[in-house]
Structure 1
């Protein structure tokens, strides 16, 4: 376990079901372990319809957990009206705080690019219609993601989950007012371009996440990840940006509260 952070933070993107959680007791156990490290709240994210239903339910089991629902771009091959109707129903629930993760993934070939782009456009429209932030998955597709956001008109709040771009992409996102969320990948020794990007993002436009159980931060890369590991990434970012650790924690929490409309720490 990492040392407890000096101020609470939010894991803005995790997959509690993929971490092994099934029941309310499982969710509480993961949340308790995270809280011991100072990670007091989290957003559990869906990538398919079953996961979306589970995430929406799980967000009602524990006050420290919220949800985001969408169909992952790699699963959009058969994304039709029935799936759209169910995702919209779930996305409108009170404790579902974002539409995501949606976007484009050109690394895997599970879904054709045309199907991914059509689904991405639909999720953008959904986020705008219901007034919730859009949580983007962008893998090897920076140009198309930014182009489609421009063509469709971005929602008021856009979060690039597990940001993976370089300084140029980061500047374009920052200039557009988007929020960049950094996962354990920013701690990897070979992530020089990503680290340079993380340095230039203004306070108030970045979040931290685990994407657990994937992308465990250095030096535990390759081992199972959990929300408590957010603390390692926060420590790394504070050092990388030459900023006070407590200040980074507070900035991350305030940004998460604004983006996801969470109650402030002082109000519980």
Structure 2
């Protein structure tokens, strides 16, 4: 059954402390922007960061953020896009132009994705990642990192380039040892619905050691729908499901974790 044919999960019980969805793709979801934002706000998700993955989607993110007070934009070439673009330098110049806009608070999602990447692709990804780091620092924007099967190289390149003051590991995918490295460097770690999956104990172990002052929550919607709705369409209104599972993992009350996350997200993205 195609994903669009699956029924949308029900609205969860609203959060008492409003939070932000630190990473979503409204342009890939079935509902319209207004509908998605209204559903999210109704359960206490009052802010979203709309993330672009190529030049066209990044332009859309910037336009959508300009039109909606509750939306902030992040713009970048996704690592898997870097080897595909005909002219990487021209594309990066386009991203830098968008990143300078006031409603664009972050450069991302950039980083490395070695899941299906050959040697040529790795070189293009690393070049693109270094360029995005430099843009984020020059414009004083947050850096949002996509890291798939590339932990060592992501951390190494951040060390070599000098990480921006505000660096976010989107959909954190490392283990507890890496979480301790990130914490020591002051990197934010954003957890998505996959932290609720049965096979995700290493992620929960990482979350358990991540300092509450550096933890964010996200949907990465329409992907990574949290249990028990895995396989159904994801959207920002499902943040409370993931946040409650995170609170349980950390042995914290829902409200206290939500207060941390609300402050952390504002600090990470500078709003």
TM-score bin, normalised by smaller chain: over 0.9
Question: C-alpha offsets along residues 111-141 of structure 1, whole Å, 9 cap, x if unaligned?
Answer: 7100000000000000110001100000000
Aligned to 2:93: 85
Of 30, 35, 47, the residue aligned with 1:29 is: 35
| Runs of 5+ unmatched residues, structure 2 | 1-10
> How far did residue 41 of structure 1 move?
0.5
**1 CA distance for matches of 2:30 and 2:80?**
22
CA contact (8 A) 1:106 1:139 kept: yes
Aligned to 2:14: 4
Of 185, 203, 214, the residue aligned with 2:194 is: 185
Of 151, 155, 172, the residue aligned with 1:142 is: 151
TM-score under structure 2 normalisation?
A: 0.93
Aligned to 2:7: none
**2 CA distance for matches of 1:42 and 1:16?**
9
Question: C-alpha offsets along residues 233-260 of structure 1, whole Å, 9 cap, x if unaligned?
Answer: 1111111111111111111000011111
Question: C-alpha offsets along residues 189-221 of structure 1, whole Å, 9 cap, x if unaligned?
Answer: 110111000011111101000000000000001
> How far did residue 109 of structure 1 move?
2.6
CA contact (8 A) 1:27 1:62 kept: no
| RMSD, matched Cα | 1.1
**2 CA distance for matches of 1:131 and 1:101?**
16
CA contact (8 A) 2:222 2:233 kept: yes
Secondary structure (helix, strand or coil) at the match of 1:41 reads: strand
Count of residues in correspondence between the two structures: 258
> How far did residue 20 of structure 1 move?
3.6
TM-score under structure 1 normalisation?
A: 0.94
> How far did residue 108 of structure 1 move?
2.3
**2 CA distance for matches of 1:163 and 1:42?**
18
